[in-house]
A and B are shown apart, each in its own frame.
Chain A
């Protein structure tokens, strides 16, 4: 692939032709703030927070939609650039409810992070605020359009990743709002609740409902593991606080899925802490289950299996292994059936 050489803040770097200025800068560790840009989505150049100065170009181009060309000289942190970014942030928070104290997104909100970085403190433009009701029409996620910065990431995720195209901009100007066609409630749309829009939203406008009040973003430990449902094998992050799974999020390093999941993988974790989980071994006596210790239960199983094996032979015992247990566990049950009991009567529900 052809390479082009550009200079960014005095550093020279070679990047493949077609690379955006934003990506080129990020590839050498130079931070440029970006709100509407998302690495997994088409760049649109809408928020203009990512502006930079480029020699021989008038105005300040948005780096996410500007392609590197040979010999380009780029500056990312001049007075002019910083001033422009600050103004954009001030305008954004002019009609933003500054609810960071209780906002679920606090700690992982890009708007909050950039305001902090650029020292944008209060609303000097003190503009008119929206007062949309928080939309709570489904069990999975909340939509607080007062916190929406109309970056359009959710629209693009729904269209470009999921292929559903549920969302679009409605109305104009100050009243621009993101939602299903004709601004109907999500609950009445064809939404499949995959949460991809929630995953890409840079602010607290879209949040997982079940995670509300369960803990701050920075308190949750993320444990990278694999979705327990279908054979796609998406990587998920279990968000754990005080020994409990409080939610599931995608992991950008997911081999198959990146950050994107479906409704089962993202929202189907509540069974983990269900009070219906089995907590002790049970032995049936006179048709009723009685709690038992492991020693009692395993002692009984061992003696019964031995008895049947001795009386009727190993092939009178059958094993069903599980497509939901790990490889190691399937291996051990296979070993148990074949080596301990001595039968090949082992199968699982692969065919179903």
Chain B
């Protein structure tokens, strides 16, 4: 997020795109509620009529995968009506002319044709966003899990810069991250092309710095992403894998392909707290401590580094992941030893400018938001205050491209996936205990109109199929999804929707198109 979660309460206009915030980030939806109670306008952009969308003053129910057309349409209105922030555009950005040209054809009428959102609504929302004193944009996977995911994000950023709704309190472009430490995993260099703090492996100075600190030679060749690794495994190019705390068999697109890759490996190690669906394919399984059994830090979606504290002992012989890695490195002839995670953080701070001032001692009282370059730096609640990281903010004009798979005669529906309030990710944690008891199985949302046509009643078992696979699941006949759209979550191994989803990914961020694929449904 460019801004902080608590700043949302101070916004007077909130544009929530592709986020079912009330279910996926409930406490953030509390902040939205507080802002709305103080008079802020909430606009939700979502193909589904979620409970959260129902609380909005405007719900733009766009067709899945048409976000760019909507944002471009809004920018078209803002430019043609002269509502953009001229001072901001003049002083802080570049490339305005190109943007203006690119959005010229996206008249509200044209955008309406693509998105299904009435032209007048596009006009109204565009005006309100541009005129708001402090407008914030929240978005999640609904925006990024598309083949054009990166372009969707560009479109959002273009809109914010055009109106100068960034670089001030309670404004900004705010992706809400799905998993508790997904921000931290990225910050820590668990990515194939960068080391900690997004320092590129292709930069010789970076490689030299880390090579010296770690006493090694850093490879200059960027590595493979999850999806690429799975393909490489299937082709026999990746021969061994080490998977720590992930369950790609349920979480990744086209899971059949993932399983094929894992089966083909010569050697697979899985380190986790449960024997997950992925661990079943392992040659060696290492028992790890869970969050309550270890010390460390997590970084949340607003870049706040916070202390995780050990409360109880791990079960049996399970060990904290950091201890296991240290032992394994040592067994491989690379001695690694730290007295505690606090020492590891000191090493991180030494190598990572944005974490430079972070230490466990400072985190004792309060979390700190990076960038925090020095021990006396208070941290950064919002980014881009004086200037953008690259100096001037660059407009990146983007064009609407239809999703990779469009519905056709054989697969006439759009299947979309997401999360449920009561569960988390692949359900390994939430299905044990009260949450599992309360929400024991998933269902497929289908519109009343489609259900009637297909003779499907609420609760009926249906078979849903795509070009990659099929599964059976109970139907929920509902007004939540529009005609032609199906929706379910990926939390349940019994209804593994990722056997069906499209692994075709965005060329830049390599995020698979989990939000849209063509599907067929019939009574089972």
The residues of A with any CB-CB pair to B shorter than 8 Å are 138-140, 160-163, 190, 192-194, 209-210, 221, 223-235, 238, 240, 243-245, 255-257, 260-265, 267-274, 276-284, 289, 292, 294, 297-302, 304-306, 308, 312, 314-340, 342-352
Contacts and interface: CB of A to CB of B under 8 A. Distances in A.
A302 B185 contact: no
B304 A277 contact: no
Contacts of B412: none
B273 A327 contact: no
B336 interface: yes
Interface in B350-374: 366-367
- Give 5 closest A-B pairs by Cβ, nearest first: A233-B300, A279-B316, A270-B433, A326-B296, A163-B33
Contact of B190 (A270, A272, A334): A334
B189 interface: yes
B166 interface: no
Interface in B214-273: 214-219, 221-226, 229, 232-233, 237-246, 248, 251-252, 266-267, 269, 272-273
B269 to A, nearest CB: 5
Nearest to A285: B283
B297 A327 contact: yes
A279 B317 contact: yes
Contacts of A301: 242, 269, 284, 286, 328, 331
Contact of A352 (B195, B252, B434): B252
Contact of A339 (B192, B215, B509, B514): B215
B144 A351 contact: yes
A344 B285 CA distance: 23
A115 B316 CA distance: 46
B321 interface: yes
A277 B182 CA distance: 23
B185 A233 contact: no
B229 A347 contact: yes
B292 interface: yes
Contact of A338 (B210, B267, B510): B210
A92 B241 CA distance: 65
B379 to A, nearest CB: 11
Contact of A255 (B183, B189, B326, B367): B367
B83 interface: no
A223 B311 contact: yes
Given A162-B30, A238-B292, A256-B304, A278 B285 contact: yes
B50 interface: no
Contacts of A262: 26-27, 421
B244 A321 contact: yes
Given A315-B223, A317-B241, 12 more contacts: A160-B37, A163-B36, A230-B424, A232-B5, A238-B292, A260-B30, A264-B430, A271-B273, A271-B432, A282-B285, A305-B267, A330-B190
B397 interface: no
A315 to B, nearest CB: 7
A343 B218 CA distance: 8
B132 interface: no
B216 A163 contact: no
A252 to B, nearest CB: 13
A271 B428 CA distance: 8
Interface of A is mostly: mixed
Contact of A351 (B244, B312, B509): B509
Interface in B412-445: 421-425, 428-430, 432-435, 437-438
Contacts of A160: 33-34, 37
A264 B196 contact: no
Given A277-B273, A347-B223, A349-B248, A334 B196 contact: yes
A229 B322 CA distance: 20
B184 interface: yes
A192 B195 contact: no
A248 B54 CA distance: 30
Given A320-B243, A322-B245, A333-B244, A230 B306 contact: no
A255 B55 contact: no
B192 A346 contact: yes
Interface string B462-484: 00000000000000000000000
Contacts of A240: 311-312
29 contacts: A223-B292, A228-B290, A228-B292, A230-B24, A232-B176, A233-B302, A233-B306, A257-B30, A262-B421, A264-B26, A264-B422, A271-B290, A272-B292, A274-B274, A281-B284, A281-B287, A289-B275, A298-B286, A298-B327, A316-B238, A324-B291, A324-B425, A325-B181, A328-B344, A331-B189, A331-B348, A333-B190, A342-B219, A344-B219
Contacts of A232: 5, 25-28, 176, 300-301
A294 to B, nearest CB: 7
Contacts of B6: 256
B456 to A, nearest CB: 25
Contacts of A335: 214, 329, 336
A217 to B, nearest CB: 17
B242 A320 contact: yes
B256 to A, nearest CB: 16
A221 B309 CA distance: 13
B482 to A, nearest CB: 22
A336 B325 contact: yes
Given A274-B433, A277-B315, A325-B245, A330 B181 contact: yes
